Structure 1
Amino acid sequence: MTFDQGVLLESQRLLLRPFEEGDAADVLAASHDPEILRWMAWAPAQTAETALAWCLTDSHVDPIHGINFAIVGGDRFAGTVGLSRTDWTDGRVEVGYWIAPWARRKGYAVEATRAAAAYAFQKGLHRVELLAAVGNRASQAVAAKAGFTRECVLREATLTPAGRVDAVLFSLLESELA
């Protein structure tokens, strides 16, 4: 199995599409945001060149194991949601996201996460997992609002710019996506 290249997903207010060259400036700008710098291990090293490489190549590189979408809300780049660490045999995938500062507290992360999960289920996967750093209350709130169930805390399971931290594991089953 594989994810579809070039797929577009639409939710009530959002378009999820492949990254484009024009997204690089927004990706770079978001990487300077204090919250993104706090939680995203890639953010401190982000440059104009790495942002462009992400948008043109890196975000599209492995349709067997993952897919990444630019989130567009109100005709403006709002962040990203992606599926990764796919195990087609066991029917599992992990969802991750980040939202640009201007787009926060609008429900975009919840809406995009549910759309990505629905796509995973359409592709035949059974379980979508989400990891959120123990201290990242906003990300944990997104998981809960998106309908995910909190399962446990995994020790030192995620990397942040400050180092390895414990992460809360959430999951959503196909039967739970209403």
Structure 2
Amino acid sequence: MMFDRGITLTTRRLLLRPFAERDVPDLVEAARDPQMLRWMLWAPQENVRRAREFCTKTAHDDPEHKITFAIEPLAEHRCGGSIGLQRADWTFGRAEIGYWLAPWARGRGLVTEAVRAVTAYGFGKGLHRIELLVSVGNDASCRVAERAGFQRECVLREAGVLPGGARTDLVMFALLKSAQPDAPGAAIA
């Protein structure tokens, strides 16, 4: 099994699409946000060269194990974040979902909408379980997981690394295909 190359998903307010070179400035700008610098390991090193490599190559490679979407709010026509499935294990039917949202796209429930759409896509591809890992203290991300229907399962001690190298505990959330909430309006193109 593998994820589809070049696929887009649409919801009522979002276009989830492959990253493109036009997203480089938005990615670099988002990486300078204090919340991104606090939680995203890659953000402090982000620059135009790295962002271009991600948007044109890295985000598109390895469809057997991952798929990455740019989150584009339909009303804004710019990249407002990223969401994807990674570490897919087709034998066991599980993958991990991850996301980030730029400050200009926050506070409207957009990432919850994106999580629901990408989760539905993953289950449609044959996954049985989707996991979501959040650093302890990242309360906004925990709320997204809960609103999207994920159940808190455990804390993985010192399983993550924050910018600057500090170890952090990770809260594991998971959603089973059998417990998936409806994702109204999600369409695949």
TM-score normalized with structure 2 length: 0.92
Of residues 159, 171, 174, the one that matches 1:171 is: 174
TM-score normalized with structure 1 length: 0.98
How far is 1:76 from its partner? 2.5
Inter-partner Cα distance in structure 1 for 2:117 and 2:48: 29
Residue matched to 1:53: 53
Inter-partner Cα distance in structure 1 for 2:63 and 2:158: 28
Aligned length: 178
| Identity between Structure 1 and Structure 2 (%) | 54
Of residues 118, 131, 134, the one that matches 1:132 is: 134
Residue matched to 2:185: none
| Corresponding letter in the other structure for 2:7 | V
Is 2:45 aligned against 1:42?
A: no
Inter-partner Cα distance in structure 2 for 1:175 and 1:108: 24
| Secondary structure class of the residue paired with 1:5 | coil
- CA offsets 1:96-153 (integer angstroms, 9 cap, x no match): 0000001101101101111110010000000000000001001001000111000000
Residue matched to 1:14: 14
Inter-partner Cα distance in structure 1 for 2:161 and 2:86: 15
How far is 1:36 from its partner? 0.3
Q: Unpaired runs of 5+ in structure 1? A: none
Deviating above 3 A after TM superposition, structure 1's stretches of 4 or more consecutive aligned residues are none
How far is 1:43 from its partner? 0.5
- CA offsets 1:10-63 (integer angstroms, 9 cap, x no match): 112111000000000000000000000000000000111000110000111110
Residue matched to 1:147: 149
Paired residues for 1:110-121 under 5 Å: 110-121=112-123
Residue matched to 2:92: 90
Q: Unpaired runs of 5+ in structure 2? A: 182-189
Inter-partner Cα distance in structure 2 for 1:95 and 1:53: 21
How far is 1:95 from its partner? 0.2
